[in-house]
Amino acid sequence: MRIRDHSGRRRRSASLGVLAAAALLMPVPASTAHGAPGDDYLYVTGAASGRLVGYRVGQGAQPRLVADVPTGFGNLSVKESADHRFLYVLTIAPTAAIRAYEIGGGGGLTPVPGTPVAVPASPLGMNLSPDGKHLVLLTGPDLDGGARLQGYSVAADGAPSPRGEAVAIGPAGSAAGGPVPMPVVSPDNLNVYVSNYSAGSVTRFELRADSTVSPARETVRTGGGPVSPTFSPDGRYLYTSNEHSGDVSVFRQQPNTGALVEVEGSPFPAAGATPHGIGLSPDGRFLYTPNALTNDISGFAVEPDGALRPLPGSPFPGGPVGTMPGQVFVSSDGQRLYAVDLAGASPPPAAALRSYRIATDGSLTQEPGLPIGTGLLFSAASMLVAGR
């Protein structure tokens, strides 16, 4: 995206406004990654703290701190590379940049040489392709209030490089109008799907072998305020949480074209206010959404056709009023669910990490000894790196 130099102050002001309004909009789906067998690592960013912390979680033990690194402020997105070696963090200050870290065997983080990579406009969100070759970045709003999608190639050493021109995706959201768009790459690495909060839709773009992206190919309607576009583990279904309408949309991806067909019965009610990030069990049997404004978690059984059925006891209790659960992740063994608060009940205002046992029917029971305080203010993005 090309913007005249004299607009810099306006862009920075707009991006900070988006950051404040987008507190609910940076979830990240869980994935597999390296580490000792059975080790899971949960990385949590603090957008207002300018830090990222990592915990070793699971195996029935209390979360143990393994990483604490400065990242810069406004870290809106954190993702793991498909080859399980790198963690990527998107920040807006003091420099708008993509930051990359190598993940050590014990969960520690080391900056990748040649990064951070500065981006030419205010960053909103990013994601990586399952084959590890591509990174897609959303930036905006531009002077017309729109957002753009830019493709990057990812080198073997983990460093991303921009490819081609950014393409327009529509309204980016604003402090008054709501949070921002979010991308996900299809399991076959051929398409990018962007949820547009303001428009209540998902738009498909082709992702080419050279990491460039096409103009928009199709747009489908969702519920109101879609966030957290997430594919099922088998790659057949795309889910979005819909914050405004309080439900979850489900689409079947057509294998040859990438087109989306809504599943019968979609959208499915979430039974809580402002459902946010989506968490799926590794076997694809259960789906969970944290409901930020009712401080609880909805759970669903996933039917063979992708439809959702509420679990017994759903929604399950979260933290006190004001903690606002924003992201949930299922452990690599499918036995625990971790929930990260967006904020904290005051005092203290720091976001907390909670853990639940998952029963055979998918229902949740909070584990004793938790939550633990992360010490982070405004946790807008987290990432589960699951042991092999």
CA distance 373 to 350: 6
CATH number reported for the structural domain that contains residue 259 in this entry = 2.130.10.10
> Can you give the pTM of this predicted structure?
0.87
Is residue 116 reached through a cis peptide bond, with omega within 30 degrees of 0 on the bond before it?
yes
Residue numbers of the domain that contains 26: 5-386
pLDDT in tens, the chain (388 residues): 333 333 343 333 333 333 333 444 343 333 333 344 567 899 999 989 999 999 999 766 789 999 999 999 988 899 998 777 899 999 999 999 999 999 998 999 999 999 999 998 889 899 999 999 999 999 987 666 678 999 999 999 999 999 999 998 866 543 333 456 799 999 999 999 999 888 899 999 999 999 999 999 999 999 999 999 999 999 999 999 999 999 999 999 998 899 999 999 999 999 888 999 999 999 999 999 999 999 999 999 999 999 999 999 999 998 887 788 999 999 989 999 999 998 876 666 788 999 999 999 999 999 987 788 898 888 878 889 876 4
- Name which of 338, 299, 306 is nearest 28 in CA terms: 338
Query: 305-309: which pairs have CB atoms within 8 A and are 24 or more residues apart?
Result: 305/263, 305/264, 306/232, 306/236, 306/237, 306/250, 306/252, 306/263, 307/250, 307/263, 307/264, 307/265, 307/266, 307/268, 308/248, 308/250, 308/265, 308/268
For the chain, the domain total comes to 1
Report the pLDDT value the prediction gives residue 144, as an integer from 0 to 100: 65
pLDDT score, position 140: 82
Question: What per-residue confidence (pLDDT) applies to 173?
Answer: 46
